[in-house]
Structure 1
Amino acid sequence: MVREQYTTTTEGTQIKRPDEQHVYKIGIYGWRKRCLYLFVLLLLIILVVNLALTIWILKVMWFSPTGMGHLHVTEDGLRLEGESEFLFPLYAKEIHSRLDSSLLLQSTQNVTVNARNSEGEVTGRLKVGPKMVDVQSQQFQINSKDGKPLFTVDEKEVVIGTDKLRVTGPEGALFEHSVETPLVQADPFQELRLESPTRCLSMNAPRGVHIKAHAGKIEALSQMDIKFHSSDGTIALDAETVYLPKLVQGTGGPSGNLQSLYEVCVCPDGKLYLSEAGVGTTCQENSHVCL
């Protein structure tokens, strides 16, 4: 901007013209002005883009006064609807599903649930992997709907609290050590087998062992000896017929009867043998079987 100065004169007066003064321009001109306009335009564009992105994010994430998308904030906590993916650990006091649906925890690798104490140390861990379910805890317990313990495991024992334990495998159940139970029973119309292929099989009870077969027979097979021992009572074989097919038979004298009668004799070591019956006992005559 150029400022011009004018001087008025009258006739008969001579006024000396002042010397020429320096004139300064006020404002922004040239390339500075163009850069300023360009910078203001760029800020305006960035502001519009940020506002559009903010509106787009709010719309995509489904922000609302009650929460964000499927995640709603309620008085009891957070309610999450639909399927969700967590990329980092999730800390929660309680997780439960809706009343009309189940709770599904799914992972491509494994699902791990940890319980920690106040110091952050892991006190219990449940890990569900593709090949194994691993539980690390002092005690593992499964309860029924009414709170009755059904299965309990700790370092000392395993307790099964159901009324009946059913083993449906074709090979049965394998126990490497002793088993304590009040009843061992097979399914209806199925046979029950107690077998020890390489060791002995022992059944002990303070008040007796009862073996019953209501609709079949009982077989006891052994490679070596079968022993029935009663410390205070007796051993009774109560049946219409007691059949001993391979019992040793002693040599008797000539008998005139076509059908001979026999008596059962006992050796001092408990061995049984047969001897042809006579008017009196003939066990002593045929006692050479005991030798």
Structure 2
Amino acid sequence: MVREQYVRTTGDEGVPDTVPEYLYKIGIYGWRKRCLYLFILILLAILVINLALTIWIVRVMWFNMEGMGLLQVHPDGVRLEGESDFLFSLYAHEIDSREDSALLLDSTENVSLNARNENGNVTGRLSVGPKKVQGDAQQLVVSSNSGRMLFQADGKEVVVGNNKLRITGPEGAIFQHSVQTPLIRGEMSKDLRLDAPTRSLSMDAPAGVHIKALSGRLSVTSNRDVQLHSTEGLLVLDAEMVRMHNLQLGTAGTGGAQDLYEVCVCPNSGKLFLSKANVKTTCSDSQQC
């Protein structure tokens, strides 16, 4: 409440006349005052709730001077301790594990790694799913710890850079097209088998094909003909004993006193046959060719 007084001067005597006092009530009263107090009380309650939530978030998220709980921020990167779940995509320049533990990426669906260029286009992709592992890239290179290339594959060829390629499957390996290799060797305790069930088997080399069995025997089986062909040079069978089964036996002639035979070869067809041995060869006199 404010009291105001107005004074005015009248009359010839110069005596001021006093104006009656007027009282004015200045303030908020009634329901407006109650609404104001209620509004201030609500603001105070919201302030207390926000302060309590802030303290709770700080306690739950473990905020500290180095980071947030298990997540520590360093000048050279971010270090995360323990297990963490990422609900959306993760973008990082490099991901390393601690020296005393492995790096584990686990997902209920699949784990996808994408490489992008400066325009944002995906240039390489690796997806590990519950049923298959799929990778898309221009070139796949597998190297050892020393930097030696072990495996390389692109759109033109596949290169195995190790000294030995071992295939341990019980059915072996199936090649749809040609195979070029300097050496094919079986394990010491197992046989080496080259098999073409429905077609022919061909081995070509400009300087020759060398087949060697260090222990055991060498067997060549065919449903039809077996051809050993040399364009230049000789075909040499070098062994302590060469056996040719089911050859046609020659008949006893009049020249030899003993039942001795010689193996003859037809000059036109290369057919092998036996002929009665004599002082001179009888191959030309035989009618087997």
Q: Same fold (TM over 0.5)?
A: yes
The total of aligned residue pairs comes to 276
Q: Which residue of 1 aligns with 2:41?
A: 41
Q: Which residue of 1 aligns with 2:283?
A: 283
Q: Which residue of 2 aligns with 1:32?
A: 32
Separation (CA, whole Å) in 1 of partners of 2:108 and 2:273: 72
Q: State the one-letter code of the partner of 1:199.
A: R
Q: Does the residue aligned with 2:274 lie in a helix, a strand or coil?
A: strand
Residue-by-residue CA offset, 1:128-153 (whole Å, 9 max, x unaligned): 11122111111000000011110000
| Structure 1 residue 176 displacement after superposition | 0.9
Residue pair 2:256, 2:276 contacting (<8 A) in 1 also: no
Q: Which residue of 1 aligns with 2:13?
A: none
After superposition, residues 113-128 of structure 1 pair within 5 angstroms as 113-128=113-128
Separation (CA, whole Å) in 1 of partners of 2:150 and 2:133: 19
After superposition, residues 16-95 of structure 1 pair within 5 angstroms as 23-95=23-95
Q: State the one-letter code of the partner of 1:170.
A: P
| Structure 1 residue 121 displacement after superposition | 0.8
Q: Which residue of 2 aligns with 1:243?
A: 243
| Structure 1 residue 82 displacement after superposition | 1.1
Separation (CA, whole Å) in 1 of partners of 2:57 and 2:164: 59
- Give unpaired runs (5+ residues) of structure 2: 6-17
Residue-by-residue CA offset, 1:29-83 (whole Å, 9 max, x unaligned): 2222221111111111110010000010011111111111211111211111111
Residue-by-residue CA offset, 1:253-279 (whole Å, 9 max, x unaligned): 47987x732211112111111223233
Q: Does the residue aligned with 2:188 lie in a helix, a strand or coil?
A: coil
| Structure 1 residue 23 displacement after superposition | 4.9
- Give unpaired runs (5+ residues) of structure 1: 6-17
Separation (CA, whole Å) in 2 of partners of 1:265 and 1:233: 20
Q: Which residue of 2 aligns with 1:263?
A: 262
Separation (CA, whole Å) in 2 of partners of 1:159 and 1:260: 61
- Stretches (4+) displaced over 4 A: 18-23, 254-257
Separation (CA, whole Å) in 2 of partners of 1:282 and 1:97: 85
Q: State the one-letter code of the partner of 2:98.
A: R
Instruction: Point out the more displaced range, 109-118 or 203-212.
Output: 203-212
Separation (CA, whole Å) in 2 of partners of 1:213 and 1:143: 34
* Gap change, CA 1:2 and 1:72, over 3 Å in 2: closer
Residue pair 1:109, 1:129 contacting (<8 A) in 2 also: yes
Q: Which residue of 1 aligns with 2:196?
A: 196
Q: Which residue of 1 aligns with 2:209?
A: 209
Residue pair 1:250, 1:286 contacting (<8 A) in 2 also: no
Q: State the one-letter code of the partner of 1:201.
A: L
Q: State the one-letter code of the partner of 2:140.
A: F
| Alignment RMSD (CA, Å) | 2.4
Q: Does the residue aligned with 1:64 lie in a helix, a strand or coil?
A: coil
Separation (CA, whole Å) in 2 of partners of 1:124 and 1:239: 58
Separation (CA, whole Å) in 1 of partners of 2:256 and 2:225: 38
Residue pair 1:251, 1:286 contacting (<8 A) in 2 also: no
Residue pair 1:124, 1:137 contacting (<8 A) in 2 also: yes
Separation (CA, whole Å) in 2 of partners of 1:72 and 1:79: 5
Separation (CA, whole Å) in 1 of partners of 2:231 and 2:198: 27
Q: Does the residue aligned with 2:39 lie in a helix, a strand or coil?
A: helix
Q: Which residue of 1 aligns with 2:232?
A: 232
| Structure 1 residue 28 displacement after superposition | 1.8
Q: What is the TM-score normalised by the length of structure 1?
A: 0.87
Separation (CA, whole Å) in 1 of partners of 2:280 and 2:273: 17
Residue pair 1:127, 1:134 contacting (<8 A) in 2 also: yes
Q: What is the TM-score normalised by the length of structure 2?
A: 0.88
- State the percentage of identical aligned residues: 60
